[in-house]
Amino acid sequence: MATAPIDAPAAGLPADWRDFWALTKPRVMTLVVFTGLCGLLIAPGHIHPVLAFTAILCIAMGAGAAAALNQWYEADLDAKMKRTRNRPLPAGRMERQAALHFGVGLGAFSVVLMGLAVNLLAAAILTVSILFYVLIYTVWLKRRTPQNIVIGGAAGAFPALIGWAAVTGRVELLPVLLFLLVFLWTPPHFWALSLFVNSDYAAAGVPMMSVVAGTRATRLQAFLYTLPMVAVAILPWPLGLAGPIYGVAAVGLNAIFLMLAIRVGFSREEDPALMKAERRLFAYSILYLFASFGVLVVDRLWFA
């Protein structure tokens, strides 16, 4: 458990509501909400728009709760990294207990609301995703193994499954493929980032692949994970789960991803300031995920 003392807010000043909002990592939540919404839109069947909105709200609240609990636990780590030291807890703008109460309360509320308003399967997967992120990734893996983000990536892969389950009450092959796509996308995405912020992770003592195994092994593994990711991304087309709009777009999007991953895989650059290939792969990987899911929705709605 995190033990480093984090400054209490000055003069007993209660945390600002904006700090609670920041605790939910709104930028990460955008991607989670988007993939959840796509899972919901591509699912066969009908869901009342109010219940669809509620399902997406619950996914967002669940993600926000997991992010808050992650920051509660990692306040000492965040204080050591440039990228995270201005977050509410390490910056001393909020009491740690407030973050814990907020995270537990928001998480419990999101699950109960999902179960009562939408269905129990969606609520169960939401529970698993929150617990997976907090207990498996944050508490267990992150400080112990360079495989942290590989297994932890599953936590970010659940929203598409939840969106689908919210409509159908079942889990089927297409959302499982989307789960695998996000799962396999996570290593190249995060390892590209870790290559050019390596010193930050090293300073905080986080055993990221680039810190433990070096940049060369990290580059190679980022490239190797891209190969099954490309296969999984294209698979819905030959399996008849998506039409030609998705198929053609997926081939193009994955060809670019593969090209950028090859550049990263075979680069020998050691100076983070000069790591253009890694920055490009990181930036493109975000666009790639938005585009892949977006095109799949267009395709499924077009051929519905």
Partner 1 sequence: MARPDPTPADDEAIRKRQRSRSIVTALILFALVVLFYAISIAKML
Binding mask 54-93 for partner 1 (x = CB under 8 A): x--x------------------------------------
Instruction: Count CB atoms within 10 A of the CB of residue 103.
Output: 25
Complex with partner 1: residue 112 or 239, whichever CB lies closer: 112
Number of residues near partner 1 (by CB under 8 A): 14
Binding mask 92-121 for partner 1 (x = CB under 8 A): -------------------------x----
| Residues in region 16-35 near partner 1 by CB under 8 A | 16-17
Of 34-42, 48-56, 76-84, 152-160, the window that binds partner 1 (rule: CB under 8 A) is 48-56
48 binds partner 1 (CB under 8 A): yes
Name the one residue in this structure whose structure tokens are 């599953």: 154
Q: What share of the chain is helix, strand, coil (3-state, %, to 5)?
A: 75, 0, 25
Check if the beta carbon of residue 94 is closer than 8 Å to that of residue 21. no
The amino acid that residue 254 corresponds to is: N
304 binds partner 1 (CB under 8 A): no
Buried/exposed 187-197: b ≥16 CB within 10 Å, e otherwise: bbbbbbbbbbb
Could you give the CA distance from residue 166 to residue 199 in angstroms, rounded to a whole number? 42
Shortest Å, Cβ 261 to partner 1 = 43
238 binds partner 1 (CB under 8 A): no
The amino acid that residue 132 corresponds to is: F
Name the one residue in this structure whose structure tokens are 């204080």: 79
Contact residues: partner 1, CB under 8 A: 11-17, 48-51, 54, 57, 117
